Amino acid sequence: MFEKLVIKGGKALQGTVKLRGAKNFVSKAMVASILGDSKSILHNVPRIKDVEIVSKLLILHGCEVTYNSKAGILELDPENILSPRIADVDTLVGASRIPILFCGPLLHKLGEAFIPNLGGCKIGDRPIDFHLESLRQFGAVITKQTNGIKITAPDGLKGTKIHMPYPSVGATEQTLLTACIADGVTEVSNAAIEPEIMDLINVLQKMGSIISVATDRVITIEGVKNLKGFTHTALPDRAEAASWANAALVTKGKINVQGAKQQDMITFLNIFRKIGGEFDINDSGITFYCTGDKLKAIPLETDVHPGFLTDWMQPLVVSLTQAQGLSIIHETVYENRFGFTQALAKMGAKIQLYTECLGTVPCRFKQMNYKHSAAIFGSTKLMGADIKVPDLRAGFSYLIAALAAQGQSTVDGIDIIERGYEFFIDKLQALGADIDLIKN
Ligand code: EPZ
């Protein structure tokens, strides 16, 4: 079946959207449940593809998974964990990046694992060398196969000293999930400390782990003998919250994002205000709105936490097409995250990409010929167009652009958006968007 969205732009979005748990946390907490000797319960879980894919992989490994989508409650019971048929795991090849995080927990519980080749957004090569290097340092033996990797730990997993070449979120999670019941102490330097990582540490501590985070981003994990199940409420999705903020800004509307948390979004809120947006913070969330003043162009660099989250960048680009003057963005986390700007140019945006580092943040892509800096000239009138979604955050950015554009747009590939934005069509319609889903 083929689905696409038809959007008629020009209407201000007004109303409330309910934010649920962070996509980039809930799937990791689900993996952590494997380490427990008893059942875990996770609250505030959104109905998104990543949760579906990880649930399937857990069930293939003999775990019991019960999801109440309405209540957002996920029950996970790893008691009968088993090694699955490789052919069954194979069905999930290319579905997500999360399976790589199963390595440590499955090695601890089963002594072996087969991880299918990964999927995930095409915003760069997305290598897993840091993950594999970290696992080898714990004592894992890795055999690469055409459709994935086979991994064993003949002498068990021992605590070790790991230095992250780059503060990788996934590789830090890999190390946490492996170290917490490894034999001895593990120290990870240059670790990532995103709010989603800190919430995973909350979960592991609830399970019985001993984990400390030093001011210089060195994380120390003292391996314990066993862990129990957890009960936890996932932190809200700050990437989704920022997407709605930009939707309010470019449609000149007002959106109350229920559940959004200021402390995880301070850097975003500063930038949102600097370009001319405004927000009211209350106990139930954050209301984002356009003041009516002309938007202002800015220079911006993405970075690891507490810097400007790379997932916030793509929706902000659409807002910057409506700002007066020349904005400059230096994307320092992914080498190829500006591909989506071609479709915005088709709609009338004036965006030039550069291989140079247009900023001061030290960047791995210097002289590497990746177009990872952008100049956005505004403001430009956006006209509706037929667009195809390349990746998750770009997909939502296209929706924002179509909502702000004059005329009609069609958007193909919306299943990619469903990976990370729960019920986004219903939410947009409730905010007054003129949007229809066409199936044929
Ligand atoms: C997580 O990806 C998020 N995804 C991403 O969100 C997010 O943009 C990213 O962290 C940074 O915050 C999930 O949590 C599922 P990384 P991850 O490892 O863990 C390089 C979204 O839209 N690297 O921190 O894959 C890598 O190529 C997604 O929700 C290696 O070189 O990100 C990249 O340049 C997009 N080798 C940089 O590190 C490795 O082994 C950051 O990647 C691992 C990473």
pLDDT in tens, 50-91: 999 999 999 999 999 999 999 999 999 999 999 988 888 888
170 Cα to the center of ligand 1, angstroms: 6
Residue 119 confidence (pLDDT) above 90: no
- Distance between CA atoms of 135 and 91, rounded to whole angstroms? 24
Which atom of ligand 1 lies nearest, measured to the CA of 392? 22
Distance from chain centroid for Cα 412: 21
- Distance between CA atoms of 262 and 409, rounded to whole angstroms? 33
Convert 50-66 to b/e letters by CB count within 10 Å (16 or more is b): bbebbbbbbebbbbebe
Distance from chain centroid for Cα 207: 24
Mark which of 173, 206, 233 sits at the end of a domain.
Answer: 233
* Same domain for 122 and 223: yes
- Distance between CA atoms of 201 and 248, rounded to whole angstroms? 33
Q: What is the mean pLDDT of residues 410-423?
A: 92
Residue 1 confidence (pLDDT) above 70: no
In this structure, are residues 314 and 398 in contact, taking their beta carbons and an 8 Å threshold?
A: no
pLDDT per residue as tens digits for the range 34-43: 999 999 999 9
Mark which of 174, 205, 233 sits at the end of a domain.
Answer: 233
The single-letter DSSP state of residue 332 is -
Helix axes 195-207, 23-32, angle to 10 degrees: 20
Q: What is the CATH number of the domain that holds 353?
A: 3.65.10.10
pLDDT of residue 406: 96
Which atom of ligand 1 lies nearest, measured to the CA of 196? 14
Q: What is the mean pLDDT of residues 374-378?
A: 97
180 classed as catalytic:
no
Q: Which of 102, 169, 238, 332 to mutate to test the pocket of ligand 1 (most atoms within 8 A of CB)?
A: 169
pLDDT per residue as tens digits for the range 267-324: 999 999 999 999 999 999 999 999 988 999 999 999 999 999 999 999 999 999 999 9
* Same domain for 425 and 381: yes
Residue bearing the bigger pLDDT, 146 or 15: 15
Catalytic residue among 63, 103, 121, 363: 121
Q: What is the mean pLDDT of residues 176-181?
A: 98
* Same domain for 357 and 249: yes
Residue 21 confidence (pLDDT) above 70: yes
pLDDT of residue 422: 93
**What residue's CA is closest to ligand 1, atom 27?**
126
| Overall number of domains in the chain | 2
Mean pLDDT score across all residues of the chain: 95
Within 10 A of 231 (CB to CB), how many other CB atoms are there?
A: 11
- Distance between CA atoms of 231 and 43, rounded to whole angstroms? 8
- Distance between CA atoms of 231 and 123, rounded to whole angstroms? 34
* Same domain for 277 and 229: no
* Same domain for 423 and 377: yes
Mark which of 202, 233, 264 sits at the end of a domain.
Answer: 233
User: What's this model's pTM, rounded to 2 decimal places?
Assistant: 0.97
Q: With left for phi above 0 and alpha for psi between -120 and 50, is residue 5 left, alpha or beta?
A: beta
Report the share of the chain in percent with pLDDT over 90: 89
Residues in the chain: 440
Q: With left for phi above 0 and alpha for psi between -120 and 50, is residue 346 left, alpha or beta?
A: alpha
Nearest alpha carbon to residue 220 among 193, 197, 189: 189
Q: What is the mean pLDDT of residues 159-171?
A: 98
pLDDT per residue as tens digits for the range 213-233: 999 999 999 999 999 999 999
Which atom of ligand 1 lies nearest, measured to the CA of 173? 19
Ligand 1 pocket member 171 (CB < 6 A): yes
- Distance between CA atoms of 104 and 123, rounded to whole angstroms? 26
* Same domain for 415 and 331: yes
* Same domain for 215 and 286: no
* Same domain for 270 and 178: no
* Same domain for 165 and 282: no
Q: How far is CA 160 from CA 70, 107, 177, 183, 189, in A?
A: 42, 16, 13, 9, 11
Q: Which two tokens stand for residue 144?
A: 């690469």
Residue 2 confidence (pLDDT) above 80: no
Domain that holds residue 63: 23-233
* Same domain for 174 and 65: yes
Residue 120 confidence (pLDDT) above 90: no
Backbone angles phi, psi at 364, to 5 degrees: -70, -10
* Same domain for 212 and 313: no
* Same domain for 365 and 252: yes
425 Cα to the center of ligand 1, angstroms: 27
